[in-house]
Amino acid sequence: MERAELPSPLQASRLAPVRSLLRAMIVPIMSVIVALAIGAVIISLSGANPLVAYSALFEGGLGSGRAIGRTLEKATPLIFGGLAVSLAFKCGLFNIGAQGQLLLGAIFAAFIGFSLQGLPAVVHIPLALLVGAIMGALWAAIAGTLKALTGAHEVITTIMLNFVAFNLTDWLSDGPWKDRSPGNIVARTPAVAPEARLPDIAGVPLGMILAVLAAIAVWWLIWRTTIGFELRTVGQNASAARYAGISVRRMTVLAMVASGFLAGLGGAVETLGVVGRFQPGFNVGLGFQAITIALLARTNPIAVIPASLLIGVMQAGASRMQFNSGVASEIIDVIQAIILFFVAADSIIRWILRLRAEEGERVTLSSGWGS
Amino acid sequence: MTVEPEIVLEARNITKRFPGVVANENVSLKLYRGEVLALLGENGAGKTTLMNILYGLYHQDSGEVLIRGEPVRISSPSESIKRGIGMVHQHFMLVPVFTVAENIILGAETSKGPFLDLKVARQRIRELSRQYHLDVDPDAYVKDLSVGQQQRVEIIKALYRNADILILDEPTAVLTPQETEELFAIIRSLTARGASVIFISHKLKEALAIADRIVVLRRGRVVGETTPREATERSLAEMMVGRSVMLEVEKGEAHPGAPVLTLENVTVLDDRGQQVVNGVSLEVHAGEILGIAGVQGNGQTELVEAITGLRPVHSGRVRINGRDVTNASPRRISEIGCVHVPEDRQEDGLVLTYSVADNLVLNIYYAPPFAHGVVRDDRAILNHANRLIERYDVRTPSPLTLVSALSGGNKQKVIIARELSREGRLLIAAQPTRGIDVGSIEFIHQQIIAERDRGAAVLLVSAELDEIMALSDRIAVMYHGRIVATMPAARATREELGLLMAGAQPSNVVQEPATDGHAPVSVQRRGV
């Protein structure tokens, strides 16, 4: 799935980190630019002025303090989701189920949030976050265990588990955990206790701070610990990992659990930081955007932050764009899809840029011919 | 009388640079009609780059290629095929679930309207097969063919496309001695009909046996051209390596001690559930090398996997140092003191996308000093790498270089360094020198003997009879999952081993004249 890893201390030659960082960044950056260009063509075809539309888009995402606040709000769960998908990728797993894990995390955080009353915030918030994260982890563990024990492909099982999660959370929020307050007719849980809501710390939402800390923690885990080494080894060459005494099954389950933990935490942060309750439909699409972000970041945990911010800007600015230029906000989904297309099929971008194959790839190719 | 034979292919002053390396420098080469030209060289000498240029996979930075005297620019393999160049790669490019005919026409399909027309193709394949004694059934499925037969399918594939210049890349690496002889006969019948063959190899004996001319490459340059009549193994080896090499392994008397590895009636199943190791019992003692000879695919791979915990032992017992390790985890077996040089270094021994340093701790990364708790100590890993690179003479620009950038011999040295530096009590070395250059082979052989002399028990599995005979103190022959004979190496002869490997009962072994130019050796009759 991934070709060029971003540099790590023991990965590339002394000079290479800078070069390979640039090389690794050029395709994602060009993908975004080309996607925006194609989006501009579509916008002009629909009769609007792309410059007006895009300036409104970025004004809506970055133009004011409130706009930036909205962007951070949108970007926060995306960072968690992007980290979840990236971490699984490092172990060679394609976690399509971030969406389901996120839903579980979101609804259980809401449950802890509304069902317990009178706890101090320092207890209530960590508890609700932790329960949400653990539920996401358990949900992902199902797919991980199935893969480890029976070889069932995680792409299939996580897609199925997404459907189960959709229906389970629909039922919970319209059944046992439904908001029974007078006048409410929609499916949603009660609002969480005020003590469970995430505060701002020095003007920055706590959720965003947690997201950045999570990115650093994932980077540390992957590149600085033996567990990360085992994950990466399984992801790069499962057979060599087995020969090296690493249990591929154990790492498969572990990677899914860690991935689900991050996705669940993302759902919990969304509930406690933004929505304030669980309501079906609010988090739809986050888990799938997470895949775009992970690919755009080339599964580098730190790069997940700017990638999420970029998508966050677009989402925060979409309604301003629609208001100012009359371009339907759905164009943002189109642009995101084009970005995903290009980062996934990066040879198209390489061809556009006439980029030569990377050194490493070339060497591998020539050794493939023997001698 | 003095008519110059036609030059079918010529390379003039080819230079090809890759970032940081000159793969070919001013390489000139002529191939005459009807000859076999052996291209000898170590890994990284530039043989493959040169062939890839001729085959259109790369383009040279300078110099020119002439086909039948006409300068050409070959930009793709399909163009080189059109110009009559066929290449048989070391790793076959066949679809296992297709028939021979289907594989051969792949990319050059004959059709009737929208339907495949295999009839014409089958007819031609039969003709070619007859003409060159290739003995291949067009309707057989490739997955059912032996490696030697698959290679012949590749040759027919080239002939089917009217190739009259054939490039064979390390064609004997996967063949038994008998299959190699058959291949040589095929090559001779090809050249007798006017085809020209470039035979890429690192095996000196074979180059001497089959070639009309031998060109030696070293570090991207042509360092010599000779003929089998003028050259000897020693002179060729020196040309390849650039210094004198020992072809014989020097080793002293073995001093075997207590048994370290004990197998009792071990049976093992393959991936399809077939029993491929049938009740093997053997002992390997401290301070001795037991070589397992056998044609590949007779259960050696599965036996090694079972000993090292990578494949379940179906029945029987495996003991290392007296401890029962039957079906223990690979990690536990490794920690008991079993070090393993796996058969497939690219696939199982290395992570190609990792640095040399990371590969040098691939199975000890979790222990101090390389980790404290779960935190890696990059400095200790790097120091370790620098030490081993020096001690085991790994040629790498830096410990941080990706291992994929190293030559085959140096990749194997990385594995040897990682495993031998652990000073295990049991060394299992599977095909330790397959496909690597003379210089590295010499080095690795010395290291294996040093392990023995240090007191380790060594189980050596190799398809190279020469290697088994040069290194082993005792030799066991494996055939169809059984050990059919065990003998002291001093008493073993090439011919006897060859027959046992081919399934002859030990009692049926008869005296055969030596075929490879050595003095005839008498073969002992052995009772069962």
Each residue's pLDDT tens digit, B397-435: 899 999 988 878 889 999 999 999 999 999 999 999 877
Q: In this predicted structure, which of A318-322, B366-370, B406-410, B503-507 has the lowest mean pLDDT? A: B503-507
Å from A370 to nearest chain B CA?
Answer: 6
Residue A21 lies in a domain: no
Å from A73 to nearest chain B CA?
Answer: 33
The pLDDT confidence band at residue A14, using thresholds 50, 70 and 90, is: very low
Å from B217 to nearest chain A CA?
Answer: 12
Asked if the Cβ–Cβ distance from A245 to B331 is below 8 Å, we say yes
Residue A23 lies in a domain: no
- In chain B, pLDDT over 70 holds for what percent of residues? 93
CB-based contact, A181 to chain B, within 8 Å:
no
Task: Name, in order, each residue with C-beta under 8 angstroms of B146's C-beta and a sequence gap of 6 or more.
Answer: B179
pLDDT in the model for residue A359: 38
In which domain, by residue range, is A141 found? 28-366
Q: In this predicted structure, which of A134-138, A270-274, B245-249, B262-266 has the lowest mean pLDDT? A: B245-249
Residue A17 lies in a domain: no
Asked if the Cβ–Cβ distance from A10 to B170 is below 8 Å, we say no
pLDDT in the model for residue A189: 94
The pLDDT confidence band at residue A367, using thresholds 50, 70 and 90, is: very low
- What are the chain A neighbours of B376 within 8 Å (beta carbons)? 224-226, 229
Instruction: Compare all CA atoms of chain A with the CA of B405 and give the residue at the minimum distance.
Output: A363
The three-point CA angle A176-A178-A179 to 5° equals 145
CB-based contact, A371 to chain B, within 8 Å:
yes
Tell me which residue in A14, A240, A247 faces B362 most closely, judged by beta carbons: A240
Over the stretch B443-493, which tens digit does the pLDDT of each residue have? 999 999 999 999 999 999 998 888 899 999 999 999 889 999 999 999 998
Asked if the Cβ–Cβ distance from B48 to A370 is below 8 Å, we say yes
Instruction: Compare all CA atoms of chain A with the CA of B363 and give the residue at the minimum distance.
Output: A244
DSSP code, position B143: G
A–B: how many Cβ contacts below 8 A?
Answer: 126
The pLDDT confidence band at residue A355, using thresholds 50, 70 and 90, is: low
Å from A153 to nearest chain B CA?
Answer: 19
The three-point CA angle A108-A111-A116 to 5° equals 135
Asked if the Cβ–Cβ distance from B408 to A367 is below 8 Å, we say yes
In the predicted model, is pLDDT for residue B197 greater than 80? yes
In the predicted model, is pLDDT for residue A7 greater than 70? no
In the predicted model, is pLDDT for residue B516 greater than 70? no
CB-based contact, A242 to chain B, within 8 Å:
yes
Q: Specify the residue for token string 């073969």.
A: B523
The answer to whether the beta carbons of residues A39 and A331 sit under 8 Å apart is: yes
pLDDT in the model for residue A285: 84
Cβ-based neighbour number of residue B372 at 10 Å: 11
E strand or H helix at A239? helix A238-243
ipTM given for this complex: 0.83
CB-based contact, A367 to chain B, within 8 Å:
yes
The pLDDT confidence band at residue A20, using thresholds 50, 70 and 90, is: low
Asked if the Cβ–Cβ distance from A243 to B405 is below 8 Å, we say no
The answer to whether the beta carbons of residues B396 and B356 sit under 8 Å apart is: yes
Å from A357 to nearest chain B CA?
Answer: 12
- What are the chain A neighbours of B200 within 8 Å (beta carbons)? 371
- What are the chain A neighbours of B382 within 8 Å (beta carbons)? 10
Q: Which residue stretches of B198-257 are H helix?
A: 204-210, 233-241
Asked if the Cβ–Cβ distance from B354 to A11 is below 8 Å, we say yes
In the predicted model, is pLDDT for residue B515 greater than 60? no
pLDDT in the model for residue B507: 55
In the predicted model, is pLDDT for residue B332 greater than 70? yes
Å from B482 to nearest chain A CA?
Answer: 25
Asked if the Cβ–Cβ distance from A14 to B405 is below 8 Å, we say no
Write the CATH number for A159: 1.10.3470
In the predicted model, is pLDDT for residue A9 greater than 90? no
To the nearest whole number, what is the mean pLDDT of chain A? 87
The pLDDT confidence band at residue B242, using thresholds 50, 70 and 90, is: confident
Residue A126 lies in a domain: yes
Over the stretch B42-52, which tens digit does the pLDDT of each residue have? 766 888 888 88
Asked if the Cβ–Cβ distance from A369 to B351 is below 8 Å, we say no
In the predicted model, is pLDDT for residue B233 greater than 80? yes
Asked if the Cβ–Cβ distance from A237 to B351 is below 8 Å, we say yes
Q: Tell me what the mean pLDDT of segment A141-163 comes to.
A: 95
| Between B524 and B181, the higher pLDDT residue | B181
pLDDT in the model for residue B520: 36
Å from A89 to nearest chain B CA?
Answer: 15
Asked if the Cβ–Cβ distance from A370 to B381 is below 8 Å, we say no
Question: Based on the structure, what is the number of domains in chain A?
Answer: 1
| Between A370 and A239, the higher pLDDT residue | A239
Å from B223 to nearest chain A CA?
Answer: 18
Instruction: Compare all CA atoms of chain A with the CA of B419 and give the residue at the minimum distance.
Output: A244
Instruction: Compare all CA atoms of chain A with the CA of B49 and give the residue at the minimum distance.
Output: A366
Residue A1 lies in a domain: no
Which of B400, B419, B428, B436 should we substitute to test contact with A (largest number of A Cβ atoms within 10 Å)? B400
Instruction: Compare all CA atoms of chain A with the CA of B365 and give the residue at the minimum distance.
Output: A226
CB-based contact, A10 to chain B, within 8 Å:
yes
Å from A371 to nearest chain B CA?
Answer: 6
| Between B219 and B454, the higher pLDDT residue | B454
CB-based contact, A361 to chain B, within 8 Å:
no
Tokens representing B481 are: 């999952």
Tell me which residue in B51, B330, B402 faces A243 most closely, judged by beta carbons: B330
Helix, coil or strand: residue B459: strand
Q: Is the dihedral of CA B421, B268, B463, B142 positive or negative?
A: negative
Asked if the Cβ–Cβ distance from B347 to A237 is below 8 Å, we say yes
Which among B357, B349, B346, B331 is positioned nearest to B416, based on CA atoms?
B349
Instruction: Compare all CA atoms of chain A with the CA of B308 and give the residue at the minimum distance.
Output: A243
pLDDT in the model for residue B89: 84
Q: In this predicted structure, which of A144-148, A355-359, B26-30 has the lowest mean pLDDT? A: A355-359
Q: In this predicted structure, which of A42-46, B172-176, B224-228 has the lowest mean pLDDT? A: B172-176
Asked if the Cβ–Cβ distance from B362 to A233 is below 8 Å, we say yes
Tell me which residue in B331, B362, B400 faces A10 most closely, judged by beta carbons: B400
Q: Is the dihedral of CA B353, B356, B360, B366 positive or negative?
A: negative
Asked if the Cβ–Cβ distance from A10 to B48 is below 8 Å, we say no
The beta-strand segments (E) located in B365-520 are 371-372, 375-376, 426-430, 457-462, 474-479, 482-488
Over the stretch B271-314, which tens digit does the pLDDT of each residue have? 878 899 999 999 999 999 999 998 777 899 999 999 999 999 99
Tell me which residue in A240, A242, A360 faces B404 most closely, judged by beta carbons: A360
Å from A367 to nearest chain B CA?
Answer: 8
Buried b (16+ CB within 10 A) or exposed e, B213-227: bbbbbbbbbbbbbbe
Long-range contacts, stretch A214-219, CB < 8 angstroms, 24+ apart: A214/A79, A214/A80, A214/A83, A214/A262, A214/A265, A215/A79, A215/A83, A215/A301, A215/A302, A215/A304, A215/A305, A216/A301, A216/A302, A218/A83, A218/A86, A218/A87, A218/A262, A218/A301, A219/A300, A219/A301, A219/A302
Asked if the Cβ–Cβ distance from A359 to B19 is below 8 Å, we say yes
Asked if the Cβ–Cβ distance from A237 to B340 is below 8 Å, we say no
Q: Specify the residue for token string 């499962």.
A: A238
Residue A4 lies in a domain: no
Q: Peptide bond before B520: cis, by omega within 30 degrees of 0?
A: no
Helix, coil or strand: residue A260: helix
- What are the chain A neighbours of B310 within 8 Å (beta carbons)? 242-243
Å from A207 to nearest chain B CA?
Answer: 27
Residue ranges and CATH numbers for the domains of chain B are 7-241 (3.40.50.300), 246-337+424-528 (3.40.50.300), 345-423 (no CATH)
Å from A230 to nearest chain B CA?
Answer: 9
CB-based contact, A9 to chain B, within 8 Å:
yes
Tell me which residue in B363, B382, B435 faces A245 most closely, judged by beta carbons: B363
In the predicted model, is pLDDT for residue A49 greater than 70? yes
Burial class (CB in 10 A: 0-12, 13-18, 19+), B47: buried
| Between B243 and B225, the higher pLDDT residue | B225
Tell me which residue in A5, A16, A226 faces B371 most closely, judged by beta carbons: A226
